[in-house]
Structure 1
């Protein structure tokens, strides 16, 4: 069956179509840039084989949800050929930084994050707080996401290791003097002793006195090295050096200097006490956790050095569930490690990346030492990775509250639903129903309510289906629950709230048909739709063709959330009924067990599962349960377990244990 030509299959202005142009792309490694009608770059990608990768977009064999929408905007492309995958990765990051394409993963606010920098190219390097990270001759540590924490780190550092501040007026004057007399750099200490002026920090004892030649370049370089190792997390080395210096000063009877060194050591020790020890070995790793919403996400990086978490950083990203977890992780790693000089020997993430080897090679080149990507599956690293994900979740929630992101998105979702479903007004009150059953048994229905786009749990209701059913019948069940919810008596009950602006059914055409018929019988005119699970298609009464909301749109996110909440609420009630029935039917088989003893057992053990795991002695320890009754409970539960195993084996085509006893009622 033929289909209408897609935009990239159509020739324009006498030029070959995009599909035809892609066939002329070389098979070399490189980067490709998709552009829209105005020539704006909307996506940048890399490939080992450019033609093969770009064909996946043209043929829609790339299964990412955003691809069809993106390709509908594409009108042209460029590509750049490089030598290998590694060069392609570096070029991709540079192009993304240059163009900020809409469909690429990037930081949401794209602000300049704080760094701590050391001006290494100066004769007397200084420390500074900065938001730029590109000057040559300057080494950057970060990024930090808490500016206050970065400034505090600098303050603590300068108390521990004397080093000039780049904000110091006298340090700036010293820098200008040395720049004006480059021939004096070799004798900078003597030159400054004659020409310099002491700064305020030197007077109060936290400055090294480079401005007046109080410290030579060799000793000052040692201080700079200590500061850099501190920022890299190498604190044990610094503490050992300070201890040696303190003992040396004491041996020389220089007790004043020894006392100053002792105070520095205590400052470092107190800082280490505050850090949480998480590993028994002195590992250097970064652990990156993500938390995703529909079109926004957060990343949290735990920076672990010498077995301690020295800092964590949170970032908000402009993509969420609308891209794959692999794409989100891959893009973040490239962006983050492009901007930090502090690269560990191991980066832990929650998934396996297809480009892990190439990324590892790139990080190794940046690091100067071998760096690998690792996916922990158990142990301390796995646990800490879960903590990183939890912190990412809190960071995202804080961002959404702070910026009003959720409210703005919800308002847009309601307006989009009004337009897409041809409603008379935005659906400020949405009611959604779902039916849950198992072969017609324990059939229940849920009703969830969203008011102003948010769950209104005080209005949630659940129903036991009263119509006798020999098998699952969603049509009958939905008709019953709607007749009970929208019957005259219930509609007059204030506890059920007002009539909804939109009725959503979890299901497709059958559920929608049942709803329309029932509402017609009741004489009610309520806008309704059905949401199918498979392709997220929305069925409406006035059109045989289902509506497909744009992938990643606020309206699709909202209606899916409503549907998923109704399903969760229904299945929870269904399991609750099954659990109660299971407990009742099994224990009713035991002689000597009545309502009081049954209640005592369930109160003591909390669930049938825990009761099944209990020994005879544990059951007999329950107050009011005689030994012989406990043995009867234990034997009955064992027999019930065996029968369930038989049923499972039979379902799997295996032999049963040969018991002829009829199955217990469940």
Structure 2
């Protein structure tokens, strides 16, 4: 690791203006992004006595090799730039708020011609209105089932919608009046969109006018002695009431607010937020994050940026109630107001119902942290200990912060593929996983060591090519960063191949080990006997996780390739052309398309393909199979 004093900026060279700064490691990758009202005191704080820093911060500055900054006009611009850089570079040392579960939303796809209501998870898409999050998907479905009799909008998939239009018959919901059936023309596009907009208004908290309108319709129908319509309106009002009862009324003034609370200890923090719309709790959400040296106001600022940074105006409420104000509340309010298009107030509730609700949210945060600590007891310390143990057992100069593991998968030398998985700081970095197709240019079967040689050669040639290159976006390319440790799935033969590849390419400072499955033996270069790590050690557990992840990734890719080859090859069903000959043809020509273009004489160049069989193959693949049946062994024409 680097000595922070080697890249400390010269005294007086750091400006006192507001700005955003980035720490980079020796490979040029951004590892931390931060902002400051005044850059000079903030950056100087990182280069004080290393033992006075928070352990996570000390590790960051030791990993760093350079620091740079950008001056901006004010705090709002600094917030915007910090958020965009965190999203762009995904720095490993920035606090990441991980959801403690996947929360479902009730979504209405207003961007479609015929909007659809459905349960959605994951990233939000433009043109869709979201309500929630809810604790359970079944709660959304029950609420939606109650409201469809009042707001009969579409809930079917695009495939079902299209098929119903083709056959001219709606689905069951259309027959029981829980869908207005735009698929068969019962309602036009404008009418269906009006229903969807009314549904969104109701879910957004504007409920009183709908109940009032239905009540007036019920009374008018009863006065006209139309008791069937009156009964239907009565049932609609009851359905609305039941849907409203699912959300507890907590604030009597129809408030739209998000209420945050934090529970923390020395290492981690749990965050809970209740989403209140129209005075009702519409949903809740939680995160768990590792703490760093930042104080709580700075953590609150980062949290609000991550929660609302990608939101449209509809997703940001008028009030945001927090336990601690962010480091610059005025700048944060201005930033959120510009995104919402209206005033946003960030404040601490002092008394009354809002303070009582915050206490409830805080208790939920405390319980969430307690559950997380039980479920992942010792995880942070275990990861750090695992890396230190690997450095000790493998005689490394430093803990392997980046580990790459390679695995090969095939069936008797066919459909050979390989995987590369990446772990950083003991955690999987799936965005940098890679898959390899092996042996495309080889006419001979590829064994495990030859496949490992090809994959490692391709990976580290890319590293040597791209380590000084920059992409169109100004960032270093994915293969530009070398690992600290290469793990190969296998024993001494695979390790020796990996070492030779690195030596031939002139790659240094990359350690190599192999992990054999049979006894979980760790093979080191140059050792005739494996090293046996303690069975209960965190270091061995980390190696096993890395190896198993590489194996899973390779197996998944191999199955995809094998399934594709079996279903779309076009060679199945040709008499005399079994799996071995099919594979020989693929290996010789490279693809089925090239086999189709080959002549019979060219086909006979492949081992095992005689003239008679070649004529059969050409006839079958050309679609003009008028040739008689032939014994491919003797060449005899069969009746």
- Shorter-chain TM-score tier: 0.5 to 0.7
Q: Hey, what does 2:295 align to over in structure 1?
A: 324
Q: Hey, what does 2:341 align to over in structure 1?
A: 368
Q: Hey, what does 1:394 align to over in structure 2?
A: 367
The yes-or-no answer on 1:211 pairing with 2:183 is yes
Q: Hey, what does 1:141 align to over in structure 2?
A: 131
Q: Hey, what does 2:353 align to over in structure 1?
A: 380
Instruction: From the superposition, tell whether residues 43 and 230 of structure 1 become closer, same or farther in structure 2 (CA, over 3 Å).
Output: farther
CA contact (8 A) 1:64 1:324 kept: no
Q: Provide the C-alpha distance between the structure 1 equivalents of 2:353 and 2:188, rounded to a whole number of angstroms.
A: 45
Instruction: Give matches, 1:548-559, under 5 Å.
Output: none
Deviations 1:139-187, CA, capped at 9 Å, x for gaps: 333444544434444444434421111526443558xxxxxxxxxxxxx
Instruction: From the superposition, tell whether residues 253 and 333 of structure 1 become closer, same or farther in structure 2 (CA, over 3 Å).
Output: farther
Q: Provide the C-alpha distance between the structure 2 equivalents of 1:301 and 1:232, rounded to a whole number of angstroms.
A: 18
CA contact (8 A) 1:284 1:304 kept: yes
Using the TM superposition, give the Cα deviation of residue 75 of structure 1 relative to its aligned residue in structure 2, in angstroms.
Answer: 0.9
Using the TM superposition, give the Cα deviation of residue 348 of structure 1 relative to its aligned residue in structure 2, in angstroms.
Answer: 0.9
Q: Provide the C-alpha distance between the structure 2 equivalents of 1:66 and 1:312, rounded to a whole number of angstroms.
A: 30
CA contact (8 A) 1:114 1:143 kept: yes
Instruction: From the superposition, tell whether residues 206 and 330 of structure 1 become closer, same or farther in structure 2 (CA, over 3 Å).
Output: same
**1:336 maps to which of 307, 310, 331:** 307
CA contact (8 A) 1:46 1:92 kept: yes
Q: Hey, what does 1:7 align to over in structure 2?
A: 3
The yes-or-no answer on 1:357 pairing with 2:346 is no
The yes-or-no answer on 1:67 pairing with 2:57 is yes
CA contact (8 A) 2:135 2:283 kept: no
Instruction: From the superposition, tell whether residues 151 and 295 of structure 1 become closer, same or farther in structure 2 (CA, over 3 Å).
Output: farther
Using the TM superposition, give the Cα deviation of residue 46 of structure 1 relative to its aligned residue in structure 2, in angstroms.
Answer: 2.4
Q: Hey, what does 1:530 align to over in structure 2?
A: none
Is the partner of 1:281 in helix, strand or coil?
Answer: coil
Instruction: State TM-score, norm by structure 1.
Output: 0.51
CA contact (8 A) 2:54 2:292 kept: no
The yes-or-no answer on 1:309 pairing with 2:277 is no
Deviations 1:466-522, CA, capped at 9 Å, x for gaps: xxxxxxxxxxxxxxxxxxxxxxxxxxxxxxxxxxxxxxxxxxxxxxxxxxxxxxxxx
Root-mean-square deviation (Å): 3.7
Using the TM superposition, give the Cα deviation of residue 338 of structure 1 relative to its aligned residue in structure 2, in angstroms.
Answer: 3.1
The yes-or-no answer on 1:260 pairing with 2:232 is yes
Q: Hey, what does 2:94 align to over in structure 1?
A: 104
Instruction: From the superposition, tell whether residues 395 and 217 of structure 1 become closer, same or farther in structure 2 (CA, over 3 Å).
Output: same
CA contact (8 A) 1:66 1:323 kept: no
Instruction: From the superposition, tell whether residues 74 and 151 of structure 1 become closer, same or farther in structure 2 (CA, over 3 Å).
Output: farther
CA contact (8 A) 1:278 1:309 kept: yes
Q: Provide the C-alpha distance between the structure 2 equivalents of 1:245 and 1:40, rounded to a whole number of angstroms.
A: 65
Q: Provide the C-alpha distance between the structure 2 equivalents of 1:267 and 1:347, rounded to a whole number of angstroms.
A: 31
Q: Provide the C-alpha distance between the structure 2 equivalents of 1:362 and 1:261, rounded to a whole number of angstroms.
A: 45
Choose 109-118 or 124-133, whichever is displaced more. 109-118
Q: Hey, what does 2:67 align to over in structure 1?
A: 77
Instruction: From the superposition, tell whether residues 160 and 94 of structure 1 become closer, same or farther in structure 2 (CA, over 3 Å).
Output: farther
Is the partner of 1:75 in helix, strand or coil?
Answer: strand
Q: Hey, what does 1:46 align to over in structure 2?
A: 35
Q: Hey, what does 1:474 align to over in structure 2?
A: none
Instruction: Give matches, 1:183-222, under 5 Å.
Output: 196-222=168-194
Using the TM superposition, give the Cα deviation of residue 299 of structure 1 relative to its aligned residue in structure 2, in angstroms.
Answer: 1.4
The yes-or-no answer on 1:171 pairing with 2:161 is yes
**2:23 maps to which of 30, 34, 52:** 34
Deviations 1:413-436, CA, capped at 9 Å, x for gaps: 9999999xxxxxxxxxxxxxxxxx
Q: Provide the C-alpha distance between the structure 2 equivalents of 1:60 and 1:167, rounded to a whole number of angstroms.
A: 60
Using the TM superposition, give the Cα deviation of residue 113 of structure 1 relative to its aligned residue in structure 2, in angstroms.
Answer: 4.3
Q: Hey, what does 1:426 align to over in structure 2?
A: none
CA contact (8 A) 2:336 2:344 kept: yes
Q: Structure 1: which 5+ residue stretches go unaligned? A: 1-5, 11-16, 175-191, 420-553, 555-666
Instruction: From the superposition, tell whether residues 345 and 84 of structure 1 become closer, same or farther in structure 2 (CA, over 3 Å).
Output: same
**Which of structures 1 and 2 has the bigger CA Rg?**
1
Q: Hey, what does 2:117 align to over in structure 1?
A: 127
Q: Provide the C-alpha distance between the structure 2 equivalents of 1:110 and 1:39, rounded to a whole number of angstroms.
A: 32
Instruction: From the superposition, tell whether residues 383 and 199 of structure 1 become closer, same or farther in structure 2 (CA, over 3 Å).
Output: same
Q: Hey, what does 1:239 align to over in structure 2?
A: 211
Using the TM superposition, give the Cα deviation of residue 336 of structure 1 relative to its aligned residue in structure 2, in angstroms.
Answer: 1.7
Q: Provide the C-alpha distance between the structure 2 equivalents of 1:338 and 1:144, rounded to a whole number of angstroms.
A: 21
Using the TM superposition, give the Cα deviation of residue 110 of structure 1 relative to its aligned residue in structure 2, in angstroms.
Answer: 8.4
Deviations 1:326-357, CA, capped at 9 Å, x for gaps: 23222222212235543221111112322211
CA contact (8 A) 2:20 2:78 kept: yes
Choose 110-119 or 156-165, whichever is displaced more. 110-119
Instruction: From the superposition, tell whether residues 418 and 110 of structure 1 become closer, same or farther in structure 2 (CA, over 3 Å).
Output: closer
Deviations 1:95-133, CA, capped at 9 Å, x for gaps: 223333233222235876433322212222111222243
Using the TM superposition, give the Cα deviation of residue 310 of structure 1 relative to its aligned residue in structure 2, in angstroms.
Answer: 2.6
Using the TM superposition, give the Cα deviation of residue 40 of structure 1 relative to its aligned residue in structure 2, in angstroms.
Answer: 3.0
CA contact (8 A) 1:364 1:371 kept: yes
Is the partner of 1:352 in helix, strand or coil?
Answer: coil
Q: Hey, what does 2:321 align to over in structure 1?
A: 348
Q: Hey, what does 2:267 align to over in structure 1?
A: 295
Using the TM superposition, give the Cα deviation of residue 246 of structure 1 relative to its aligned residue in structure 2, in angstroms.
Answer: 3.7
Instruction: From the superposition, tell whether residues 412 and 41 of structure 1 become closer, same or farther in structure 2 (CA, over 3 Å).
Output: closer
Q: Provide the C-alpha distance between the structure 1 equivalents of 2:49 and 2:42, rounded to a whole number of angstroms.
A: 11
CA contact (8 A) 2:147 2:239 kept: no
The runs of at least 4 aligned residues of structure 1 exceeding 6 Å deviation read 60-65, 410-419
Q: Provide the C-alpha distance between the structure 2 equivalents of 1:85 and 1:51, rounded to a whole number of angstroms.
A: 15
**Number of residue pairs matched by the alignment:** 387
Q: Hey, what does 1:549 align to over in structure 2?
A: none
